[in-house]
Amino acid sequence: MLSGKLALVTGGSRGIGRATAIAFAREGADIAFCHLDDTEKAEETATELRAFGRQVVHANLNVSDISASRAFVASLPDVDILFNNAGANIRKPFEQVTEADFDSVVDVHLKGMFFMAQAVYPAMLTRGSGCIINVASQLGIKGGPNIAPYCAAKAGIAGFTRALAWEAAPRGIRVNAIAPGPIDTDLVRQNPLEFLEAFKARLPAGRFGTPEEIAATALLLAGPHGGFYVGATLSPNGGDVMY
């Protein structure tokens, strides 16, 4: 479905980013991805992507460094699909969150996504086509304790997605978001086992999702069958949030 396309995946060395890069490559896309100090996993991911016969390039990059993000995009051919996925989190009670804590989370999620989208946007405007998918979270919908900056940033991503879609859709560019629920990734596994088991028990689905299930949603939005999604936030979350 994606033959001849170039997909840029941020946070692409593991988890949801890696699974999505693989899904895109399996459907014919060449892949560019970035990671943050994850060189070994990045090389493993690149090897797997090249096994599909795709062109692959990756870079060690903090997406909150806007000049570095712009330079990386400038080094690539025109990007057809942006999967804006890079993220970070700090768990602290609200009253203990410092300005530095806040900036470290919001700069990656919201500022980084905003300006990465801006970096690929001019070429999409010139072609009159393109796809931007921003990764939000169900926590941006329902909130949660001890993660106020994360929830605020993820809610902001959904708002940014809708705002950009108003401008982009009439010009041939699709902009949507995915708000995953709890997904079985390295980041989630860092939580205490008791917490994870209790969380699973109260989910209607009775389990966590897989990165591949989120990748399937990304493939829908990026492919030819996703053309009528405009400014949408799809939330595969196992019933953690129903709306």
Region 138-161: what's the mean pLDDT? 96
Q: For position 24, what pLDDT does the model report?
A: 98
Residue 191 domain-assigned (yes or no): no
Q: Please, what is the average pLDDT of the chain?
A: 96
The structure tokens 């989370």 sit at: 105
What digits encode the pLDDT tens for the residues 87-130? 889 999 999 999 999 999 999 999 999 999 999 999 999 999 99
The token pair that represents 209 in the structure block: 């999702």
pLDDT, residue 73, reads: 98
Cα–Cα separations (whole angstroms), residue 71 to 115, 116, 119, 231: 12, 10, 9, 27
Question: pLDDT over 70 for what percent of the chain?
Answer: 100
CATH number of the CATH domain containing 131: 3.40.50.720
pTM for the model stands at 0.96
Q: Residue 189 falls within a domain, yes or no?
A: no
CA-nearest of 216, 6, 12, 228 to 124 is 6
The answer to whether 131 and 173 are in contact (CB under 8 A) is yes
What average pLDDT score do residues 207-212 get?
96
pLDDT of 142 above 90: yes
The answer to whether residues 17 and 85 touch, using CB atoms and an 8 Å cutoff, is yes
41 pLDDT tier (thresholds 50, 70, 90): very high
Number of domains in the chain: 1
| pLDDT, position 185 | 86
Which range marks the domain in which residue 129 is found? 6-183+212-233
The pLDDT of residue 138 is above 90? yes
Contact assessment for residue 130 and residue 120, using Cβ atoms and an 8 Å cutoff: yes
Q: Determine the residue type at 187.
A: L
What's residue 190's pLDDT? 74
What separation in angstroms does the CA of 238 have from each of 35, 73, 170? 28, 35, 33
Strands 233-234 and 81-84, by their bridges, are unpaired
From edge to edge, which strands make up the β-sheet containing 6-10?
Answer: 56-60, 30-35, 6-10, 81-84, 130-135, 173-178, 233-234
Asked whether residue 192 is assigned to any structural domain, the reply reads no
Predicted confidence at residue 221, as pLDDT, reads 98
Is residue 33 in a domain?
A: yes
Is 240 a residue whose pLDDT tops 80?
A: yes
pLDDT of residue 242: 93
Residue 203: band (very low, low, confident or very high) from pLDDT cuts 50, 70, 90: very high
- Assigned domain for 207 exists: no
Q: How confident is the model at residue 77 (pLDDT cuts 50, 70, 90)?
A: very high
**Residue 189, pLDDT score:** 80
Would you say residue 43 lies in a domain?
yes
**Using an 8 Å Cβ cutoff, are 158 and 110 in contact?**
no
* Averaged pLDDT, 195-216: 95
Would you state the structure tokens that stand for residue 98, as one six-digit string?
């410092």
Catalytic entry in 121, 150, 229, 243: 150
Which residue would you say has higher pLDDT here, 121 or 190? Answer: 121
Residue 39 reports pLDDT greater than 80:
yes
With beta carbons less than 8 A apart as the criterion, state whether 176 and 227 touch.
no
Compute the half-sphere exposure of residue 143: CA atoms within 13 Å on the CB side of its CA. 4
The question of whether 243 is a catalytic residue gets the answer no
